[in-house]
Homo-oligomer: A and B are copies of this chain.
Amino acid sequence: MTTSPDTAADRLQPRYAFLGPSGTFSEAALLAMPRSADAVLVPEPTVTAALDGVRAGEYQAALVPIENSVEGSVSATLDELGAGNPLVITDEIALPVRFALMARPGTDLAAVKSVATHPHAEAQCRGWLADRLPGVHAIPAASTAAAAAALLEDPAPYDAAIAQALAAQRYGLDILADNIADNDDASTRFVLVQRPGVLPQPSGADKTTLMLFMRADHSGALLEILTEFAVRGINLTRIESRPTKKVLGDYYFSIDLEGHVLDARVGEALMGLRRVCAHIRFLGSYPRHDCREPHLRPGVSDADYADAMEWLAQIRDGDTV
């Protein structure tokens, strides 16, 4: 893990980790968050390292990718958030995915015979490569930024790399072609992860992330869980089953719901899940990157809950209305 000496400046400046190396989409996303302006941004080689650094108190927060519109969820992030000491998501950001072909200065596109990048990026640029660089040799790299960084080795292990434009800037490379992804609409969502203790105030357009573990041998459990949400008018924006890593076919559910744990309906649903599930891991309530407010059905606003609670209190006091 990258560390730096504990100077007075450090103590004043928050330290944020991101999934490195330098020049990744994660770094670009972190730079796009206003809060990073005053912070020291530190690359970590893996999601695990970034999150463990937060757990250990070396970072105030870490920004890691969690979902890609083409590849789906980032399993490593989902699984790491659920293992070890508790962490919570306190913010999120989404960035359009934009790939560029880059090489050492002076390289001619026509001369490119080998291109390195992460296999996912290669998959997303396959059409462009076949069209513009037919017969090019594609070399897998651990990440797009790593592919770009290795071009600085001497000799360079390949002619060019596919990465985001930020990587060219970080490593002093030339961009031979920009926007080369076959699908223009791809985007990646990143989450800012912190130690518990910080709960962002409700913004009116929030999400809450949960890990739900079922009780053994409880068929119909997912229907039961969804009913706990439905009965309180809560919409889910994401639901995924993930293996518990014990035996084949044993899953937990990773869920994003619309609303904040301080919302009355979300609080009641969580209590309901707590009573139904074997275990729940709360992974944070935070403002949505798209600021979209939920369309609530009648009867599930905080005011409706407050009214119902007052009415029940009257009945319990014997003041039937």
Contacts and interface: CB of A to CB of B under 8 A. Distances in A.
Q: Which size bracket describes the interface of A in this complex?
A: 35 or more
B227 A222 contact: no
Interface stretch (A34-42, A163-171, A229-237): A229-237
Given A197-B318, A318-B196, A238 B249 contact: yes
Interface string A105-120: 0000000000000010
B274 A311 contact: yes
A2 interface: no
A189 interface: yes
B197 A312 contact: no
A246 interface: yes
B196 A320 contact: yes
A127 B320 CA distance: 29
Interface string A265-283: 0011011101110000010
A304 B67 CA distance: 35
Interface stretch (A11-19, A24-32, A54-62, A69-77): A69-77
Most buried by B among A88, A228, A276: A276
Contact of A219 (B183, B235, B318): B235
Contact of A196 (B119, B243, B319): B319
A317 B285 CA distance: 12
Contacts of A309: 271
Contact of A227 (B197, B227, B261, B308): B227
A104 to B, nearest CB: 23
13 contacts: A67-B248, A88-B320, A185-B246, A196-B320, A222-B236, A227-B227, A238-B241, A238-B251, A261-B315, A267-B316, A268-B268, A275-B304, A276-B299
